Amino acid sequence: MIQTAIGMVVLGIATMLYNVIAVTVRQRRTPNPLLGRVSSVFNVLGVGSLPLAALAAGMLAKAYGTRPTIAISAAPCLLTTFAILLFVPHHDPSVQHPQCSK
């Protein structure tokens, strides 16, 4: 039981850190006139996909059990992380973009 509590605390901290970093990067890279639109699309996709993800997780858990469902759910997260690391160009902080504000 204590491992679950520790895992939830670590996950909560990691989620908060990710959210702060993701929003900061999005705000720095998005031109000011488009910032509201870009943020709203991210929010709609992020919040709008939660019911579908919950439905899929419930169906997987019913069919295969909890542990396999967690493993199945972790696989796309890991693949996406590696794809981002491999294919998304890294940002050079010395390059200033005129459409972005500091």
The token duo for 34 is 């488009």
The token duo for 66 is 């909890």
Q: What is the mean pLDDT of residues 26-53?
A: 91
Q: What are phi and psi of 98, to 5 degrees?
A: -65, -30
Rounded Cα–Cα distance for residues 64 and 90 (Å)? 39
Identity of residue 96: Q
Rounded Cα–Cα distance for residues 44 and 52 (Å)? 13
Other residues' Cβ atoms within 10 Å of the Cβ of residue 28: 13
Collapsed DSSP state (helix, strand, coil) of residue 1: coil
Question: Full-prediction pTM beyond 0.75?
Answer: no
pLDDT over threshold 80, residue 48: yes
Q: What is the pLDDT of residues 61-74, one digit of tens each?
A: 999 999 999 999 99
